[in-house]
Structure formats: structure tokens, C-alpha cells
């Protein structure tokens, strides 16, 4: 399946998702592409009152195989992108590429962790390349969304041990680490 833009416009189509995830998949997707979309959790933007801190991930994928997220802008979610497997390696996320995206302003108020990208149990051919990660893991305008040592632009867990490449990204103003690579 492909979700993408087409035509001559230079602007990404804007999806105003409010407090909801743009895509939340519990493990059924195979051969999936999301390209050229602007995802905006508009009800979580504190510069555009009234706002709410309630929210979800921009993308949540569990046990996905052959995923490409490219040329998207993802802003104001609790996590921009969450990738998870479960259990045995055959149930891990596989063959994932995150390329040429802008992932900004992820935060969570109230003690939960927040990242631009969180990856746990991603197996085989995991690529994070040529993205911009900025101001993820906190929001100084939101009470309870302070910067902590637990929030990052990217958090790649120890359960993502195989064939991971992180290169040519711009990483700025993270809550703690720009890249937490375990």
C-alpha cells in the first residue's frame, strides 16, 4: 500500500490529526510506503490555543515488514514514529527505512517518555537517513513536559541489534541525547 502525494505542488498535504495517531498498526502491514505527507497534531500545539496535552504517536507500527517513511513532516506527537516488534525475532519489525523527513516538537506531559523516533525490536535492514530531528522529548511551553534524561530525538533500544544504519541526519535541541543508541 502507498500513501503519498502527487502532482506539481511543492507543499506536502496537511493532515491535522488532533490527539489521534496518524497511523496506528498492530502488526498487519506489509510492503507499506508513506511519502510526502505533513502530519500535524494540531490540538497539541501550545502556540495555537486552545490546546490539550492529550495525544498519541504520529506513526505506530508493530511487526511491520518492508516499511518506507520518506519526505514527511511529523510534528507535535508524543512520539513522531514508534516501531516495535514483539516476542521472538520473527515477530520483530523488519526492513524499515526512515528517510528525508522532518520530525519535530514531540513531547509528553506527565512523566511518560517521548522521542522523535523510538525503535524496539527492529530486525534486519533498519535505516535512518537524511532526516531533520529537532526539539523532541520536551516542550518548554507545556507544564509537565520538561526536558529529562529519558527523552531523546532518537531512541534505538538494545533490542534492535541487527543491521541498523543511522547516517547524515541533522539532530538538534533534544531533551537529553540527540541519539540514544543502545
User: 10-residue block means of pLDDT along the chain (182 residues)?
Assistant: 76 91 85 95 91 92 93 96 85 92 94 91 91 96 91 86 88 85 72
16/37 Cα distance (integer angstroms): 11
pLDDT given for residue 47 in this prediction: 92
Mind giving me the DSSP string for 129-153?
A: ES-EEES-S--TTSTT----TT-EE
C-alpha cell at 162: 541487527
Q: Which residues contact 36 (CB under 8 A, 6 or more apart)?
A: 4, 5, 12, 13, 70, 71, 72
pLDDT given for residue 161 in this prediction: 66
Q: Which residues contact 144 (CB under 8 A, 6 or more apart)?
A: 53, 109, 110, 111
pLDDT given for residue 35 in this prediction: 95
123/161 Cα distance (integer angstroms): 7
181/127 Cα distance (integer angstroms): 13
pLDDT given for residue 159 in this prediction: 76
CA 64 to chain centre: 14
pLDDT given for residue 20 in this prediction: 92
35/33 Cα distance (integer angstroms): 6
Q: Label the pairing between strands 115-120 and 152-156.
A: parallel
Amino acid at each position: 500500500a502507498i500513501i503519498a502525494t502527487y502532482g506539481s505542488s511543492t507543499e506536502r498535504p496537511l493532515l491535522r490529526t488532533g490527539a489521534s495517531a496518524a497511523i496506528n498498526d498492530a502488526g498487519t502491514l506489509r510492503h507499506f510506503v508513506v511519502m510526502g505527507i505533513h502530519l500535524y497534531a494540531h490540538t497539541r500545539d501550545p502556540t495555537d490555543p486552545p490546546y490539550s496535552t492529550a495525544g498519541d504517536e504520529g506513526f505506530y507500527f508493530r511487526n511491520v515488514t518492508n516499511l518506507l517513511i520518506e519526505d514527511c513532516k511529523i510534528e507535535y506527537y508524543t512520539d513522531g514514529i514508534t516501531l516495535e516488534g514483539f516476542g521472538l525475532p520473527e515477530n520483530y519489525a523488519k526492513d524499515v527505512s526512515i528517510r528525508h523527513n522532518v520530525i519535530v516538537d514531540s513531547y509528553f506531559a506527565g512523566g511518560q517518555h517521548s522521542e522523535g523516533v523510538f525503535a524496539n525490536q527492529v530486525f534486519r535492514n533498519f535505516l535512518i537517513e537524511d532526516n531533520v530531528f529537532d526539539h523532541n522529548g520536551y516542550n518548554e511551553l507545556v507544564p509537565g513536559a520538561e526536558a529529562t534524561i529519558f527523552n531523546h530525538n532518537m531512541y534505538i533500544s538494545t533490542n534492535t541489534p541487527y543491521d541498523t544504519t543511522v547516517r547524515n541526519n541533522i539532530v538538534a535541541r533534544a531533551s537529553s541525547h540527540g541519539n540514544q543508541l543502545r
